[in-house]
Chain A
Amino acid sequence: GEDVEQSLFLSVREGDSSVINCTYTDSSSTYLYWYKQEPGAGLQLLTYIFSNMDMKQDQRLTVLLNKKDKHLSLRIADTQTGDSAIYFCAESRGEDYKLSFGAGTTVTVRA
């Protein structure tokens, strides 16, 4: 949706780090998520961060949250060909934690 924005494409060389950025508009967001969609498949939750956290690390994934700027990023270390996918940023907000998704960033890993 329009409340969550992402760049549409990212090309990265195998072995390099990928950084996918996302901005959101609602300061009352409670949780922020990164989802991955592989070709022909549904979306799977990769990781999430609670809004009172600045950073979360999970193996090759690092999520950074700048709440002041309403900016979320996902860093993938040592990017592999299996990381080629569409990555969606999402936020949940409001009393009923309704989810809003960005349009998705298509990550292409080249050899």
Chain B
Amino acid sequence: GAGVSQSPSNKVTEKGKDVELRCDPISGHTALYWYRQSLGQGLEFLIYFQGNSAPDKSGLPSDRFSAERTGGSVSTLTIQRTQQEDSAVYLCASSTRIRSEAFFGQGTRLTVV
């Protein structure tokens, strides 16, 4: 597609349920990032992929969070046993290795009730 696509755009889930967030990067972009932005806060780095491997997972807040990327393209971020503090906008970005200008998706707004 023309830009980074994230789905769903909004997700309301009950506390304790698992959720999957999807990111479809720009075709050919090797780098993919997940960030979290809580209300009124800055960007919190979660994980970074280069191709299918994740050289930096340091930002994942707990072992309830995991992410994978297959075929060097689509990535899913999974949050197990969601908690209210997981409520935030989850942003995905992709970039080429060469100049690394990152293009962001519109984000998934997750609300845990």
Contact = CB atoms under 8 A, between A and B. Distances in A.
Interaction A to B: yes
Nearest to B99: A31
A103 to B, nearest CB: 3
A48 B107 contact: no
Contact of A101 (B41, B43, B56, B103): B43
Q: How large is the interface on B (under 10, 10 to 19, 20 to 34, 35 or more residues)?
A: 20 to 34
Judged by DSSP, the binding face of A is strand
Interface in A77-111: 86, 88, 90, 92, 96-104
Contacts of A41: 106
Contacts of A42: 91, 104-107
Nearest to A50: B99
Given A31-B99, A97-B97, A98-B56, A44 B104 contact: yes
A31 B98 CA distance: 11
A34 B103 CA distance: 12
B43 A88 contact: yes
Contacts of B55: 96, 98
Contact of B42 (A45, A48, A92, A103): A103
